[in-house]
Amino acid sequence: MKANRAIKNDRAEVGVGTLIVFIAMVLVAAVAAAVLINTSGTLQQRAQATGKEATQEVSSNLKVVNVYGLRANANSDLNAIKINVQLSAGALPMDLEKLIIRYSPGNAAPTNYVFTAGAASNSAFKPTWIRGDATGAAGDSVMVSGDLVELHFTLASTIAERKSIEVSLVPETGTAVAADFTTPATYGSATVITLR
């Protein structure tokens, strides 16, 4: 009679349920891992782009060496400005055709000076290479490390003594560089005045 007895075993049903739960957990973990990997890849790309832009911002600045004011004669006020600039250490080459000089005398509205290959004027500055190989002509106005360039522009109105002037150089990439100055108490008899 013992041979005819049916053996009842519930263990297999519990094992199948556990297996289904385990497979579901593995699938959820795989989906979560895929989402995390995708997100981290996107964040890495953004971080690299931001780092590259930040490096370019920091390393693309001009350095103002000197600022000079010019007078027509010993009895007149300043009628032109010359700014000597060079690239900061580690800076990328800079095309001066894309540079803007923003000039603001006191409370007056600012004037923007742009590149010209001809003579300096009330609306344009002329670059002259003091040190370097570029000519300053249109198409040959890229400033590289080691160059020293003089940016010359003529003012629409003259500057008297004891005036605060705001000047900023705005490159195509990078941050604007201030070249502000205050004119001296007297010009004396000199026609070239060191302002900064």
Q: What is the pLDDT of residue 137?
A: 80
Does residue 69 contact residue 192 with C-beta atoms inside 8 Å?
A: yes
Q: What is the pLDDT of residues 78-129, one digit of tens each?
A: 999 999 999 988 788 889 999 999 999 877 788 899 998 888 888 899 999 9
Helices (H), the chain: 11-59
Print pLDDT tens along the chain (196 aa): 555 666 666 555 667 777 788 888 999 899 888 888 888 888 888 887 777 666 555 555 788 999 999 999 989 999 999 999 999 887 888 899 999 999 998 777 888 999 988 888 888 999 999 998 887 787 888 999 889 999 999 998 899 999 999 999 999 887 888 999 999 999 989 999 999 8
Dist CA 140 CA 133 (whole Å): 9
Nearest residue to 69 (alpha-carbon basis) of 60, 78, 57, 77: 78
Token reading at 135: 């000519």
Q: What is the pLDDT of residue 53?
A: 66
User: DSSP assignment, residue 185?
Assistant: S
Nearest residue to 151 (alpha-carbon basis) of 141, 164, 139, 161: 141
pTM: 0.69
**Distance of alpha carbon 18 from its chain centroid, rounded?**
60
Average pLDDT, the chain: 85
Q: What is the pLDDT of residue 57?
A: 56
